[in-house]
Amino acid sequence: MNADIAAQIGQLRDQIRHHDRKYYVEAQPEISDRAYDLLLRELRDLEQAHPECITPDSPTQRVGDQPVPQLHPVRHRLPMLSMDNTYSAADLEAWGTRVEKLLAAEGISPAAIGWMLELKIDGVAVALTYREGILAQGATRGNGSVGDDITHNVRCIHGVPLRLALASPPELVEVRGEVYMANSALVTLNQTQVQEGLAPFANTRNVAAGSIRLLDPRESARRPLRFFCHGVGDTTGLGVESQAGLFAWAQTAGLPVAPRSQRFATLEALIEGGTDLIEELHTLDFEVDGFVVKVDAFGQQRLLGQTSKSPRWAIAWKFEKYEATTCLAGIRVQVGRGGTVTPVADLEPVELAGTIVRRASLHNADEVARKDVRVGDVLVVEKAGKVIPHVVRVEKHLRKGDLPVWAPPTECPECATPLVRDPEGVFIRCPNLACPARVRERLKFFASRNAMDIEGLGDKLVEQLVAVGLVRDYADLYRLSAADLIPLERMAEKSAGSLVGQIEASRGRGLARLLNALGIRHVGRRVASLLAARFPSVDALHAATLEELAAVEEIGPVIAATVHDWFSSDYGRQVVESLRERGVSLESLPADITPQTGPLAGKTVVVTGTLVGFTRDEAAEAIRLAGGRPATSVSKKTDFVLAGAEAGSKLEKAQQLGVKILSEEEFVALIQEAKGG
């Protein structure tokens, strides 16, 4: 064979593997599907003309010619164990405490333990064996000890490299992961099924589970399966010592890894990160039914070992998921207090998680376009954990006719102001600060329990006040009289007088609550408390430089810039002065300011369990008054743990770290110094 032909074939294979990696591993395609197909066709034509050049790892060899007669059993070199699971953060903390105890017995401190958070993909577990970098075998999990040989179908999955992209691959590596199907792929597949007179598939997991065990690889190739790597089994010469290191190696080798995998230094930080991440799962195009939490270091995993069924170093942190199918009656938009315009799906009422659901979030205009959601469509709606329902996918095979494409508004539906798109390009906003919708939402938040805590000023009443023109900004609330309120719906003399009293009481809530209530971007309860503790008045805060703001612990330059810009703006100055005129306190309360002296000066205190004489907020206030800093998680930097009844994992961790434990009686005796004895 001509050396030039061999070189051309080699170059084409390298190009195709490069583009496979950019598309399936990095999600950053560089060429169009058509350009990719032309490269593949050119390679296939050359190989057909020179069949002696065809090798098993060539990109053209993904689909075999003939079906296999049956699936043969494969015994796993190392068992593919199932995991224990939990549905609560408290149980996850208890598991983490057990892990720390076991490793402490081996001389490993909690500070030396890293924790990995990974998405738990709702697919089918498989093991892929590579010898000298070449895919040799694929097998299902089966019963954990013996699975089925599915090599013929695994070769059809484009995300599975037939050859690892490594100059010096390990002698042997068994890669473990999940075969799944994207929601968008199921939409297209079901359209094809119906067009061919076949029944549509119910969900992505059923398709993946059935497709991977088909005898005919050509049929399996029609179903666009994907793969994510999440671990390894038997290996020789891998040279990786942690889960985080494995993921870095896998991406170098051309193996896809699930997005959002992250390492945390503490389990508390992981739980916080996972809780936040649940809110973003709607952006993924595949099904997730929880997280997998692992000890990061392989050496520590080996020390922890396993039970007969499960590894001790990993656990599934799952959340309840509920799905329902219903029809989309309409799409409307809501304007938030920050001006964000959010599309909302109005649904035909459907039962979901024991309640009747009539609305679901569509999040933003880009998501509506990506999922091709149209009024009249049949939708799959999901609720996961405590998150509000969202749209998973459109059942396009049930679409009746050519439904019109939804177009996002160009003007605010409330005030007709032209909308603007965020620099990030995801959200559209109404820039009009006087927009009635923005005013309503700002006032609702201002009156809420964690802000100015104006009891009786509920959402419906706020809407009435804005609609009749009684209230246009925060200061207007403090001009209201009982006579103004009595004519309103569901208002009487007694309830009107009570509300006026609540509004009056809110004047003295203090700077920390006020800062939170104003809805300044990035300023929640925690940041508001930090600012109020450092700057005892609005005037001091307004006079603070960017550098002074950024120097406050936990603030940083981004939040500092947001706060500085707000107080320097015409709107911010107008809000502050109008509240000052109405007698609203613009100064920190004693409870907002951490004393520089006291029995707990400079000390970090964590509260756990149930206290008799304090709520959690009252205990935190007492700690601050005594000069201390209340915290939520136990670490080596914790000075005291105040333990009440039924104290759990935080108490156990404090005992392991040697942190001093205070009973409620000891705590009360200690803080008396701050109150003058």
Active site residues: 120
Give the 3-state secondary structure of residue 485: helix
DSSP 404: P
Structure-derived torsion over alpha carbons of residues 36, 174, 306, 263, reported in degrees to the nearest 10? -40
DSSP 236: E
Residues whose CB falls within 8 Å of the CB of residue 569, separated by 6 or more in sequence, listed in order: none
Nearest to 444 by CA among 460, 429, 433, 430: 460
Tell me the longest C-alpha to C-alpha distance in the chain: 99
| Alpha-carbon gap, residue 61 to 155, rounded angstroms | 8
The values of phi and psi at residue 453, to 5°, are 55, 60
| Alpha-carbon gap, residue 526 to 524, rounded angstroms | 6
What stretches of 156-291 show up as alpha helix (H) in DSSP? 183-195, 204-211, 217-221, 243-253, 267-278
| Cα 460 to Cα 50, 329, 353, 465, 610, distances in angstroms | 77, 25, 26, 9, 36
Residues whose CB falls within 8 Å of the CB of residue 105, separated by 6 or more in sequence, listed in order: none
Tokens 């583009």 correspond to what residue? 19
Residues whose CB falls within 8 Å of the CB of residue 80, separated by 6 or more in sequence, listed in order: 125, 127, 141, 142, 144, 147, 176, 233
| Distance, CA of 225 to chain centre | 24
Answer yes or no: are the C-beta atoms of 363 and 282 closer than 8 Å: yes
∠ Cα 513 515 519 (to 5°): 110
Answer yes or no: are the C-beta atoms of 237 and 170 closer than 8 Å: yes
Q: Please give the single-letter amino acid code of residue 11.
A: Q
Structure-derived torsion over alpha carbons of residues 403, 409, 415, 420, reported in degrees to the nearest 10? 170
Nearest to 31 by CA among 44, 42, 20: 20
∠ Cα 274 275 278 (to 5°): 85
| Alpha-carbon gap, residue 430 to 471, rounded angstroms | 20
Answer yes or no: are the C-beta atoms of 506 and 453 closer than 8 Å: yes
Helix (H) or strand (E) holding 348: strand 340-352
Nearest to 321 by CA among 148, 160, 205, 446: 205
Answer yes or no: are the C-beta atoms of 442 and 419 closer than 8 Å: no
